[in-house]
Structure 1
Amino acid sequence: MTDDRKKTVPVLTLATADVQVSGVMTAGEMMTAERLAELRGVLAALADNPIVTLEVHPLPDKIDRGRGIPLDAASPLAQSLSQLITQSARSSLTTARATASGENLYRMVVPAKVAAQFGQGIVRSLPSKAAAGGIYGSLVNSAGRFVEPATFVPVGKAAAAGAVGGAGATAGAAAAGGAALTVAAPLVLMAVAVGVSAHADSKRQRAIERITEALEQLREKDLEDERSDLDGCRNAIDRATAILLDEGEIGASLGLDSAVHTIDTALSKADSRLRRWQRALDALPDGKPVEIGTLTESFPGVDDHGGTFRAHLELAGLAIALKRRVDVLQAVEHAQKNPDNLFENFTRALKRGQESLDGLEAGIAGVLVRLSALELARPNGLKPVFMPGEVDRLMSAAHRIHRLGDGVTVNSRTTDVAIEIARDKDGSVVVFPALPA
């Protein structure tokens, strides 16, 4: 049985509303990860409403729970997941065996067609510090492959009656024309909301680390205050997140309104800086080398590890990450107030809030790409030759500027989104940052 659990991964197919699809996924059919990915694409194309898959993996021995958002067993997400597991185990021996220990890692994959509704840039890979070229993820190694070879097995529908309605509703079976799918809009909504929120908070943490490092060298009080004001918004956002995930109401006493004002102010500053950077780049002569001195007038510190320009970049990234978390909260709140089409309300509200942020991120990415493509000129001077230190500085500056474009994605294509959920025996869960699948 231990060997089976390592190689056999049950896959549940969940819908957010009653849908009708052809029987493209047969219960009990063995398939590879590549075949499963193909079928996800087919399901997404055929269905009018979002369809996601939920894989049931053994819980890894070592897992960094600090990256995720913990929820106790009484939370709507944990309850919905427990209900789904119980119902599925009754109708599927494969699921019953896989979940017998009570400890599993569930991997929900949301198709790109649905993920596009969240916003173009909301979920991107988070580089891992532990391995060069690696990304954060519980199921994959640094090469992006499953650690254990696995065979995926679609399981039958959950034999249960239920409703699609509020965030704590039970799952139910949808009577479809071809395949019967489990209706679990609340589970999908809450998993996506928490996964996206955790992803945004991971970006916040990384931005804070880089800003702190840059400001230690700069010692500029205005930027220190801006960083402190933004990071001070986290407590209000964390409290509001905890309350909403338990289906509570966000009150003025939480301080979320003042946090949103601080974030919006920082975004306004980032937008002004972006426009200034774009104008400076437009003013440069086309196809001609640029002196470092000319470049640093508009981009101070661009040729150094720290510098005001790089601090401004990180402050913009921090404000965007915090705003994405706030947008998720507002989208969940909006969906919970309109439970008749809960998931659709969530995606519409989230997309509206993300469009301006996507534009700001794309603008900053464009500036970095343009800077990285510049050719640096030798500084003008009376001396016919330059000292070794001046040559070293020019080469070092050129290297740093050319690397500004590393890892920058402009107009990225939306991919499937994976959300991993670790469940313990007591029913509590930890939801990890959403990542491209």
Structure 2
Amino acid sequence: MTDDRKATVPVWTLATGDVRVPAVTGDEPMTAERLAELRGVLAALADQPIATLEAHPLPDKLDRGRGISLDAASPLAQHLSQLITQSARGSATAATATGGGEALYRMVIPAKVAAQLGQGTVRSMMAKGAKGEIYGSFVNSAGKIVANAKFEQVGTVAAAGAAGGAGATAGVALAGSAALTVAAPLVLMAVAVGMSAHADQKRQRAIERITELLEQLHEDRLVDERRQLEGCRFAIDKATAILLDEGKLGVSLGLDSAAHAIGTALIDAEGRLRGWQSALDNLPEDAAVEIAALAKSFPGIDEDGGTFRTHLELASLAIALQRRVVTLQAVEHAQSDPGNLFENFTRALKRDQKRLDELESGIAGVLVRLSALELARPNGLRPVFTPGEVDRLMRAAHRIRRLGDGVTVDGRTTDVAIEIARDTDGSVVVFPALSVVA
């Protein structure tokens, strides 16, 4: 989608179960606003998860390094190719949009369905601004659709029982409809890869910040924590590749060892969180706090780096890695029962995400409470501060207030968009999932 083009864009309705999709679209092309309303109606009326898929021209400039690449033989790429081929036979709009092979596909999961995928995962997908956190050309800095394109529905695709499993291919669908085998595995794979890419993007940011902080601290113990966590990435990357090719995970991958290291880091993060919460609870109510007293429980809080901020980033890294592991476990669980594909995925994901959501929310609550504290002048015999002491107090107050910037304690669930760039050879790149603000 671009700012200036006013072309008609094909849009598919994708059901993840063998359900009747309400006929609420009409025959005329839709605006972007009408399409957003349609997703909400479908989510409310259908008893199975409903997604929409749009096909847009591939932008000239696209940073593919931020996504996960899959070759043309991968299940996701094959399911997408099947959908394109089948739709082009019966729709001139679809044939025109997909005829060149290259396109940028945008799958949108409605808020009602996205809520099933874990509160923290969805809440943390908001676009932040100019540092590569917005991808493609579909949304502006607020995450809002900016195009003038019209949307024409070209097909409704549903999964049909066991034939709609992760390994289903065209030609084995029930009732003689090859299209029925596409939606469930396509939605599952797109959501899984988009969430995994998003978590890995957060991992990369956390590693960059931790490295910078540790260069100032020279703290060997924290360096070891970072190395153990970052070393888990290789096992997770291999497991991701195998599962996305519908393979089986084995002990030789080292995923069990990686999960143990991540679990240990999460226990450390939960212990630190309890200590922070206790320290805040013990502060006198409605009274200013001295920096020295605050720094005993939050070491380095008044500095640019400091142990406290490093502990925050280590927790963020552990959460990001664990979200990738949880997604892998949910995919494996879903693929083990092809007849109950998306339901298994969402159920496993929601259950295992709860602990991470609570940890993330707890840390966010600590940061908000810290940012609201009033700092007191140091106690001493001298009645007047030196200019250096005044500057230190002002800098510390500013740094502590900024701890609450961008923190969302209980954000509303929004639609989630996953963009997939498809090349002429059928290979795809799936970009990090992004929350869509209406």
Q: Are the structure 2 counterparts of residues 220 and 61 from structure 1 closer, same or farther at C-alpha, using a change threshold of 3 Å?
A: same
Aligned to 1:78: 77
Q: Are the structure 2 counterparts of residues 6 and 58 from structure 1 closer, same or farther at C-alpha, using a change threshold of 3 Å?
A: farther
Cα distance in 1 for residues equivalent to 2:249 and 2:119 = 27
Trace 1:40-59 onto structure 2 (pairs within 5 A).
Answer: 40-59=39-58
**Contact persistence 1:331–1:345 (CA under 8 A):** yes
Q: Secondary structure at the match of 1:284?
A: coil
1:161 Cα deviation from its structure 2 partner: 9.4
Cα distance in 1 for residues equivalent to 2:55 and 2:393 = 54
Aligned to 1:20: 20
**Contact persistence 1:16–1:183 (CA under 8 A):** no
Aligned to 2:314: 315
Question: C-alpha root-mean-square deviation of aligned residues, in Å?
Answer: 2.3
Superimposed CA distance per residue, residues 138-158 of structure 1 (whole angstroms, 9 cap, x where no aligned partner): 122335344542111111346
Cα distance in 2 for residues equivalent to 1:92 and 1:432 = 27
1:411 Cα deviation from its structure 2 partner: 1.6
Amino acid at match of 1:247: E
Task: Provide the TM-score with structure 1 as the length reference.
Answer: 0.93
Aligned to 1:136: 134
**Contact persistence 1:135–1:142 (CA under 8 A):** no
Task: Provide the TM-score with structure 2 as the length reference.
Answer: 0.93
1:227 equivalent to 2:233? Answer: no
Q: Are the structure 2 counterparts of residues 85 and 422 from structure 1 closer, same or farther at C-alpha, using a change threshold of 3 Å?
A: same
Aligned to 2:155: 156
Trace 1:138-217 onto structure 2 (pairs within 5 A).
Answer: 138=136, 139-146=138-145, 148-157=147-156, 164-170=163-169, 184-217=183-216
Amino acid at match of 1:193: A
Aligned to 2:425: 426
The count of corresponding residues between Structure 1 and Structure 2 is: 429
**Contact persistence 1:84–1:171 (CA under 8 A):** no
Cα distance in 2 for residues equivalent to 1:129 and 1:156 = 35
Cα distance in 1 for residues equivalent to 2:357 and 2:386 = 45
1:160 Cα deviation from its structure 2 partner: 11
Cα distance in 1 for residues equivalent to 2:256 and 2:227 = 17
Q: Are the structure 2 counterparts of residues 112 and 54 from structure 1 closer, same or farther at C-alpha, using a change threshold of 3 Å?
A: same
**Contact persistence 1:14–1:54 (CA under 8 A):** yes
Aligned to 1:301: 300
Q: Are the structure 2 counterparts of residues 128 and 96 from structure 1 closer, same or farther at C-alpha, using a change threshold of 3 Å?
A: same
Instruction: Name structure 2 gaps, 5 residues minimum.
Output: none
Q: Are the structure 2 counterparts of residues 197 and 61 from structure 1 closer, same or farther at C-alpha, using a change threshold of 3 Å?
A: same
Trace 1:347-358 onto structure 2 (pairs within 5 A).
Answer: 347-358=346-357
Give me the identity figure in percent.
75
Aligned to 1:9: 9
Trace 1:364-403 onto structure 2 (pairs within 5 A).
Answer: 364-403=363-402
Superimposed CA distance per residue, residues 230-279 of structure 1 (whole angstroms, 9 cap, x where no aligned partner): 00000000000000000111111111000000000000000000000000
Cα distance in 1 for residues equivalent to 2:68 and 2:80 = 16
Cα distance in 1 for residues equivalent to 2:142 and 2:184 = 33
Superimposed CA distance per residue, residues 399-428 of structure 1 (whole angstroms, 9 cap, x where no aligned partner): 010010010001221111111000000000
**Contact persistence 1:243–1:250 (CA under 8 A):** yes
1:188 Cα deviation from its structure 2 partner: 0.5
Superimposed CA distance per residue, residues 111-165 of structure 1 (whole angstroms, 9 cap, x where no aligned partner): 111111111011323555635xx84221223353445421111113469999643
Amino acid at match of 2:24: V
Superimposed CA distance per residue, residues 311-363 of structure 1 (whole angstroms, 9 cap, x where no aligned partner): 00000000000000000000000111111110100110111110000000000
Superimposed CA distance per residue, residues 16-58 of structure 1 (whole angstroms, 9 cap, x where no aligned partner): 11112431013x4211111111110000000000110001111
Trace 1:212-291 onto structure 2 (pairs within 5 A).
Answer: 212-291=211-290
Aligned to 1:102: 101
Cα distance in 2 for residues equivalent to 1:389 and 1:4 = 55
Amino acid at match of 1:220: E
**Contact persistence 1:162–1:169 (CA under 8 A):** no
Cα distance in 2 for residues equivalent to 1:342 and 1:164 = 10
Aligned to 1:125: 125
Amino acid at match of 1:13: T
**Contact persistence 2:18–2:159 (CA under 8 A):** no
Q: Secondary structure at the match of 2:120?
A: coil
Q: Secondary structure at the match of 2:151?
A: strand
Amino acid at match of 1:290: V
Q: Are the structure 2 counterparts of residues 368 and 287 from structure 1 closer, same or farther at C-alpha, using a change threshold of 3 Å?
A: same
**Contact persistence 1:91–1:157 (CA under 8 A):** no
**Contact persistence 1:270–1:316 (CA under 8 A):** yes
Instruction: Name structure 1 gaps, 5 residues minimum.
Output: none
Q: Secondary structure at the match of 1:232?
A: helix
Amino acid at match of 2:7: K
Name which of structure 1's ranges 12-21 and 58-67 shifts more when overlaid on structure 2. Answer: 12-21
Q: Secondary structure at the match of 2:248?
A: coil
Q: Are the structure 2 counterparts of residues 352 and 83 from structure 1 closer, same or farther at C-alpha, using a change threshold of 3 Å?
A: same
Q: Secondary structure at the match of 1:14?
A: strand
Cα distance in 1 for residues equivalent to 2:157 and 2:326 = 33
Superimposed CA distance per residue, residues 55-110 of structure 1 (whole angstroms, 9 cap, x where no aligned partner): 11111100010110000000000000000000011111100000011000000001
Superimposed CA distance per residue, residues 157-203 of structure 1 (whole angstroms, 9 cap, x where no aligned partner): 4699996433132369999xxxx988610000000000000010001
Amino acid at match of 2:325: V
